[in-house]
Amino acid sequence: MPSLQIRQMPVDIYNALAFRAALAHRSLTQQTLAELSVAVGCNGKQRRLQVLQKIKQRQAQQALTVAMPDLQEFVRQDRER
């Protein structure tokens, strides 16, 4: 796995990351990775939401192209069996 070393990090950024890591019960490395993934758009939750949105859009498009069956006719056929 690739690694990254940051030199001359401003103290206020380090302190903010350390504070957020403590609140989230994460290590400083875990918190930094979590925040970087959100910043660059690689957040897993965000990707899942985008995929779900695409699925909903496809379902809506398919619903427009598929004719709804006549439910009364289905009930009538079931009763006649």
Give the model confidence (pLDDT) of 5-37 as tens digits: 999 999 999 999 999 999 999 999 999 998 988
Angle (CA) 35 12 43, round 5°? 5
Q: How many helices (H) and strands (E) does the chain have?
A: 4, 0
Which pLDDT score is estimated for 67? 67
In the chain, where are the structural domains located?
A: 11-80
Spatial distance between the Cα atoms of 67 and 62, rounded to a whole number of angstroms: 10
Sign of CA pseudo-dihedral 32, 36, 38, 43: negative
Spatial distance between the Cα atoms of 54 and 61, rounded to a whole number of angstroms: 11
pLDDT digits (tens, 9 = 90+) for 42-76: 777 777 888 889 988 888 877 666 666 778 888 88
Give the single-character DSSP code of 24: T
